[in-house]
A and B are shown apart, each in its own frame.
Chain A
Amino acid sequence: MNERMQSRDETEEGDLQPGRTRLSGYAYAAAACLATTLLATPLRDLFDLANIVMLFLLTVVLVAVRLGRGPAVAAAFLSVASFDFFFVPPRFSFAVSDAQYILTFAVMLTVALITGQLTARLRLEAKAASGRERRARALYGMARDLSGALTVEQAADIARRFIHDTLAANTMLYLPIGTGELKEAGDTAGIPDGITARFAHLAFRSGKAVGPGTPDIEHRPILFLPLSAPMRVRGVMTVTLGESPLLPEQRQLLETVASLVAIVIERLHYVEVAQEALLGVESERLRNALLSAVSHDLRTPLTVLVGLSDSLAMTGEGLPRNMKETAEAIRDEALRMSRLVSNLLDMARLQAGDVRLRKDWQPLEEIVGSSLKHVEALLQGRSVRIDLMPGLPLLEFDAVLIERVLCNLIENAAKFTPADGQVTIAARRRDDFVEISVSDNGPGLVQGSEIAIFEKFMRGQPESAKAGVGLGLAICRSIVEAHGGRIWAENRSEGGARFVFTLPIGEPPTVDDMLMARIEGEVS
């Protein structure tokens, strides 16, 4: 009997228990031959020997159908032997009196072997087909389960169970975390040990399977399969293999599982991304609604306060002097509160990063003028010097926001300058930037506070009685940086502080002289 053939049978049939195949298959074959012999013996006188041969051939076919190739071969030989021994004269001897029986034996053996082989192969193929169908159905079932998976852990669990059920192998999923390291998926989340991590990374980076056959890995019966999704590799699946090597079919199955899992992980990833985006839009809308509601709700009582106290102060002669002063003080404080509210709301908007810049090309001069008009009342007699370099190019900026920066800087300068002090607003071109500065001749900045003052809620002089929570400069910084510029503070050598910010020059639109001339012509 052929040992090699036998072992192949066993693996190909897969589902039969090895012990049973090896021993009982042959025993059954032998028993079948014996039974045929016993059955045919009484018929020996009724039928021609040629028909007895048919009985033996039928036996071989039946053995092949039921028990496979090995037993069929054994049955073929046994049949020829027992036919010779029990039926061909002289009986009970392997000797043959008539030489023509040699031909009968040869044909009988050949036919038995061939039909046995063919039948056995037919049976094998039927078995393989049903096996394939079963696997396909299982795979389909798993794919269906996977498509319903809501978390990566669920997907990992489904894959783990499927591979355990079909191949009796253990599976593990490793997914990349923020730092690029691979981490086990699931509750027992652990980091793979050194060597496992190395091979997992290799598979993850290369996008190719790593396993037996890869250098340095022979002693590890683990297969590392990359989870390759359409967009990118999403992780690594490890399969701990049994003693015997994987068949191509099984390997293919594992790769199919890996790519299914990868697609699921990618799907879950994009679902998450979409959800986050939706959440972002929602919260932005909510924040904007909240900010405008707060803005409206705070400004309305402030408007009433300013208006009523102002009316009171303006009633004129009928009012005692100190009451008039009180009314004015209430108005001024309400106005300051309003500026504070504006600053807080602006800071909230700028911090949230959802301020849309309404940039236009415009001369800087205009914005200096309008800023000064806004803060006129706060300057309270301090003189202002304007020193803009002639021929400055048009700059692209959001007029309202840059006016805010200038107003805050001028207000700041006024706050820290004596009543007879001077504020200077200057602008110079420096390479690709225009540098705008607001300087004063006050006490200057506390050494070392030049950077900190641009932080929220910081003040140049912590213990000073000057009003303000120090949002103004933080807002300035946010606005200037949103325009691609820089802002800083320094002490002037001649005394006082200087706040400087820059705006990039960019490419101003060409003011088309020809066009201008043409328009001029049209008008006249």
Chain B
Amino acid sequence: MSEPTPIVVVVEDEKQIRRFVRTALEDEGCRVFEAETAARGLAEAGTRKPALVVLDLGLPDRDGVDFIKDLRGWSSVPVIVLSARSEESDKIAALDAGADDYLSKPFGVGELLARVRAMLRRQIAVGGTSVFEFSDVRVDLASRTVERSGQPVHLTPIEYRLLTHLLANSGKVLTHRQLLKEVWGPSYVDSSHYLRIYVGHLRQKLEADPTRPRHLLTETGVGYRFQP
């Protein structure tokens, strides 16, 4: 790798989970710093200038959501949340507080690395091109054009805005609330069926198989994610 070694802070109270997460990340070429508690984690995040924080939501000393709110006060470092709770509301709270992605326990190493890579890539891509390409679709933000297999695709203004918002946050999970607020405006945060209908339209226009999307993914009960 030509880029400098990315630094990852892992905040997790269970020693064995820290161990395999560390092994996996080090194999991936990262430098890992561990923290057992939220307080220690915040200190590490402040001093190590990490490229990524992996955070367990069930910390002994503090609620993970509080940790994120605190961190977001002074840092925009990507955060991947590990959650043992099956309740979707906890994940949503963490994402709304500023987390970028989540993994439900138990998770495989492959799954973890895929998310980590996406987050690290996103950072590098910041300030990059204005052209996004996925499958046979090409989106040019500068000329505001969308093409599929070389043919122009007509999107309504809302559809275009929704798509560009998803693209700009590529790899990140966006909650229903976040998307409605960004695309429709603050007064539409409870009209989630609009969002679902429009995502459906986008899939019809851009996905090879709209019922089994490969890029415009559903995070059930939580929101959507664009995966390049």
Contact = CB atoms under 8 A, between A and B. Distances in A.
Contact of B106 (A334, A400, A509, A511): A334
A302 B16 CA distance: 11
A299 B21 contact: no
Given A299-B84, A300-B17, A367-B220, A310 B196 contact: no
B125 to A, nearest CB: 24
Interface in B70-106: 84-86, 88, 105-106
B194 A307 contact: no
B134 interface: no
A310 B85 contact: no
Given A366-B199, A520-B158, A299 B220 contact: no
Interface string A121-139: 0000000000000000000
Contact of B105 (A302, A308, A523): A302
Given A304-B16, A516-B194, A400 B88 contact: yes
Given A295-B85, A365-B211, A305 B194 contact: no
A311 B199 contact: no
Residue picked from B24, B106, B193, most chain A C-beta under 10 Å:
B106
Interface string A342-386: 100100000000000010111101111110110000000000001
Contacts of B157: 520, 523-524
A335 interface: yes
B6 interface: no
A307 B17 contact: yes
A398 B85 CA distance: 18
A303 B106 contact: yes
Nearest to A403: B220
Contacts of B219: 370
Contact of A304 (B17, B109, B213): B17
A370 to B, nearest CB: 4
Contacts of B37: none
Interface of A: 292, 295-296, 299-300, 302-308, 310-311, 314, 331, 334-335, 338, 342, 345, 358, 360-363, 365-370, 372-373, 386, 388, 394, 398-400, 403, 509, 511, 516, 519-520, 523-524
Interface of B: 14, 16-17, 19-21, 23-24, 27, 58, 84-86, 88, 105-110, 112, 156-158, 161, 184, 188, 192-194, 196-197, 199-200, 210-213, 217-221
16 contacts: A299-B84, A300-B105, A303-B105, A303-B107, A304-B16, A305-B106, A307-B17, A307-B112, A314-B24, A363-B196, A369-B211, A369-B212, A370-B220, A388-B211, A511-B194, A520-B157
The 3 A-B residue pairs whose C-beta atoms are closest, nearest first, are A307-B20, A523-B157, A524-B157
Given A295-B84, A365-B200, 17 more contacts: A303-B84, A303-B106, A307-B16, A310-B20, A310-B109, A310-B110, A311-B20, A311-B23, A311-B24, A345-B86, A360-B193, A363-B196, A363-B200, A366-B199, A372-B211, A372-B212, A519-B158
